[in-house]
Amino acid sequence: MNKFWIVLFHTYLMKLKTKSFLITTAIMLLLVIGLSNITKIIALFDDSEEKIGVIDQTGTMFGDVQLGMKAIDEDVELIELKTEEEAEKLIDSEELTAYLMIKSDEQEIIKGTYKANTLADTTVSSELAVVLSQLKTKIIANELQLTDKQIAALHSPVVLDTVAFEENAKTEEELNQARGLVYIILFIIYMAVIMYSNMIAMEVATEKTSRVMEILISSVSPVQQMFAKILGIALLSLTQMLLFFGVGYWSIKRNLSDMNEGIFSFMGFGSTSMSTIMYAIIFTLLGYFLYATLAACLGSIVSRIEDVQQMITPMIMLVVAAFMLAMFGLNNPSATYITVTSFIPFFAPMIMFLRVGMLDVPFWEISLSIGLLVASIIILAVFGARVYKGGVLMYGSAKSLKNIRKALQLTKKD
């Protein structure tokens, strides 16, 4: 057992000290800090006021347009101009970003034309369209002699209350918040499973290529090696995850007041429950152990690093399929195909977490899914150990899953 711990900590420390791990971790930490400070970063590069020229051919609209634009975006300054030639000169000298021409047609309905050097940024033109639409409605309402109360009633949206009969069902607002958070954690599970499983397969193949395996199996049994490597990489992933979640939690807490608007209002950072975090950790670890065991098994039957990707491609496709199902399920987590696939071990780490994060799932269903997942990991570990034991002794070309049978035959002869 002492040799098991030596291999485990050797795998952990060796990977921990590699330049690729340190650089990847540093880049990811910078990315986490950057995303949680994205509002401040955007404001830092977007502090200049935009100047837009307005040619009002109606002669009466400029004041109302200026007032309406001020209410929507204070950073846009409107300047009244007389002719298009004057506006084009100011755009050429970069004193103006664009100009808007306002006129009315035969029915005296106002219409506008927006001109700029480039139309890549549609923010200001969209805001001006809103202002002109409001003015058009106001003019028509005045012609129909509608009161302010009638105009307000005309613009007010329909109130549609949504009520769930189930006692603990989430409200629509809670579901929208959970959807953003679950999306982020699903993406983390997807990346973790692919990255660390691939790392194990590459580790085993590299040792076989360098013939280090022949020295190792003379002192440590292949089964001990396999589980020591899986747990060593698991320890490495936990180290990295703790850093990501720790720095992310600290950075989000510091910027929580700036993350209540726009896309962040759908993320639900302020209402993340501890049970959601716990289930995220549980399903990430179980997903990792399931796919890591499979990756070690597949990595053991190749003898060249170039063959690793081809051998683990079917496993990667399973992970991608689970992720795609989860993405479809975000809009309808109570769909039958989501419920069924949440009990299939290769899909459960993502699909059951999706249901747990967005619905009030009975505890027995969660327990059943976790139980099936653990049982699958044990069965795969027993089978994988037998394949690994014979696989590490195989050399030569290995490009298909038929080599698993050869590895099992070698194990029986041993």
Q: How confident is the model at residue 370 (pLDDT cuts 50, 70, 90)?
A: very high
d(CA 16, CA 236): 7
Q: How far is CA 326 from CA 59, 152, 167, in A?
A: 56, 42, 25
pLDDT higher than 90, residue 371: yes
Number of Cβ within 10 Å of residue 34's Cβ equals 12
H helices of 37-122, in order, are 38-45, 62-72, 84-92
For the ranges 17-26, 185-194, 372-381, 383-392, the lowest mean pLDDT is seen at: 383-392
In tens, the pLDDT along 290-305 reads 888 888 777 767 767 7
Mean pLDDT, to the nearest integer, of 386-403?
Answer: 65
Per-residue model confidence (pLDDT) at position 215: 62
- Mean pLDDT, the chain, rounded, equals 78
Share of the chain above pLDDT 70, in %: 80
Per-residue model confidence (pLDDT) at position 343: 92
d(CA 61, CA 378): 74
Query: Is residue 384 a contact partner of residue 364, using CB atoms and an 8 Å limit?
Result: no
d(CA 280, CA 350): 9
Cα 191–195–201 angle (5° rounding)? Answer: 150
Per-residue model confidence (pLDDT) at position 226: 75
Tokens representing residue 182 in the block: 């679950």
For the ranges 69-83, 124-138, 192-206, 331-345, the lowest mean pLDDT is seen at: 192-206
**Residue ranges of domains in the chain, CATH in brackets:** 50-155 (3.40.190), 174-412 (no CATH)
Sheet strand arrangement including 50-56: 76-81, 50-56, 98-104, 110-116
Please report where in the chains the tokens 């044990």 appear, as a residue.
Answer: 378
pLDDT higher than 60, residue 398: no
d(CA 108, CA 118): 30
d(CA 33, CA 36): 5
pLDDT higher than 90, residue 159: no
> Whole-model pTM?
0.66
The secondary structure element, H or E, covering residue 81 is strand 76-81
Mean pLDDT, to the nearest integer, of 276-282?
Answer: 80
pLDDT higher than 90, residue 71: no
In tens, the pLDDT along 226-251 reads 778 778 887 888 888 788 878 877 77
Q: How far is CA 130 from CA 69, 103, 363, in A?
A: 9, 16, 49
